[in-house]
Amino acid sequence: MTLTGCVTAVQANFYRVKLDQPQASTDRLLCVRRARLKKIGQQVCVGDRVVVTEPDWQGMRGAIAEVLPRHNFLERPAIANIDRLILVFAFPEPDPMQISRFLVYGEFLQTQVILCLNKRDLIDEPTWQTWHARLLDWGYDAIPLSVEQGEGIDRLKTHLGKGIGILAGPSGVGKSSLINRLMPEQQVPTGSVDPKYGRGRHTTRHVELFELGNGGQLADSPGFLQPLLPMTPLALGACFPEIKRQIKTDRCEFSDCLHQGEPGCKVSTDWERYSHYCQFLAEVQTQASLRAETTNPEAKTKTKKGGAEPLLSKKKYRRSSRRSLVQSLDQDLEGTGQT
């Protein structure tokens, strides 16, 4: 008997799977991964659509035999098939560069991006209007939140439809507290800002999907400061709404334009995030060069757990074996007639 479902939690080597069709009065099974998947290196993540076999209804257990194709994948934390990315930052001093990096990564995932600014009660109305206009110019309509006072929660709920949504952003901005507001029955552990470093303490240790009342699912994620930018240099421009607006009607002369003053480039430099674009472009170009070096078939390399390193010349650097040394010594003695 085979069943299909969605992985809602991963802990150690066990996977909690919510079945599409409830069976025997249950809709969830605690599963293990089949050895074949481990041999081929198939990772099973929260959000994965999977095929479950060998169900044991009495023990409510099963085995994951297949992982169905993903339409997107967030590497850190590992979660698949995201329908919307809810980015949460906090006043009074959100970092524009940090917000920009998360927005670019959200665009790369090709998923709906919802931007929330928490702790709205810490700033006055003119400051909020300035930030709101600034983000609108970037191409995003931010939702003001005050999780402590309940402001903006109902507005956010209207954006949370069916499918998988994930809360992402730095530690200490109130993601877990927001889940408790959206789903009071969950009571996810929360923390406070570390007074020594001025940063939030990590309270979320793993990813888990929580059920929303409208049939959707919401995940809290461990906070992190610098999401990776895995796109190619050519794909980076498509992650900026400002660039897409400029080339919508008047495209650049060359298809491989990187929008840095090339002949025939139609993208101007007089927009706020152009400096962010240039910095991110330099980063992804460096990463692309490193990938090219490690995949060069002419480069002699050996792989190890930490990555790849060049192979050393055996004659020049490697110590010869004892047998080779004895043979070399015998040859020298034969040449001098001392054998």
Summarised one tens digit per residue, pLDDT across range 134-156 is 999 999 999 999 998 889 999 99
Confidence band, pLDDT 50/70/90 cuts, at residue 322 = low
DSSP-derived secondary structure letter, 3:
E
Q: How far is CA 225 from CA 88, 274, 285, in A?
A: 12, 21, 21
List the domain boundaries for the chain: 2-69, 74-220, 233-289
CA neighbor of 173 nearest in space, from 101, 132, 222, 131? 222
Contact 166, 74 (CB under 8 A): yes
pLDDT in tens, 254-313: 989 999 989 999 999 999 999 999 999 999 999 888 888 776 655 455 555 555 555 444
CATH topology of domain 74-220: Rossmann fold (3.40.50)
Q: What gap in Å lies between CA 117 and CA 77, rounded to an integer? A: 21
Domain range 2-69, its CATH number among 2.40.50.140, 3.30.300.30, 1.10.3470.10, 3.40.50.10420: 2.40.50.140
Q: If DSSP codes are grouped into helix, strand and coil, which group holds residue 160?
A: coil
Structural contact between residues 65 and 241, judged by C-beta atoms closer than 8 angstroms: no
CA distance 16 to 9: 5
Could you give phi then psi for residue 316, rounded to 5 degrees? -85, -35
Report the amino acid identity of residue 134: R
Domain 233-289 fold is Ribonucleotide Reductase Protein R1; domain 1 (1.10.40)
Distance (Å, whole) CA 256 – CA 258: 6
User: pLDDT band at 76, cuts 50/70/90?
Assistant: confident
Query: What is this structure's pTM?
Result: 0.76
- Residue 172, pLDDT > 90, answer no
User: How many angstroms separate the Cα of 199 from the Cα of each of 170, 172, 192?
Assistant: 9, 6, 9
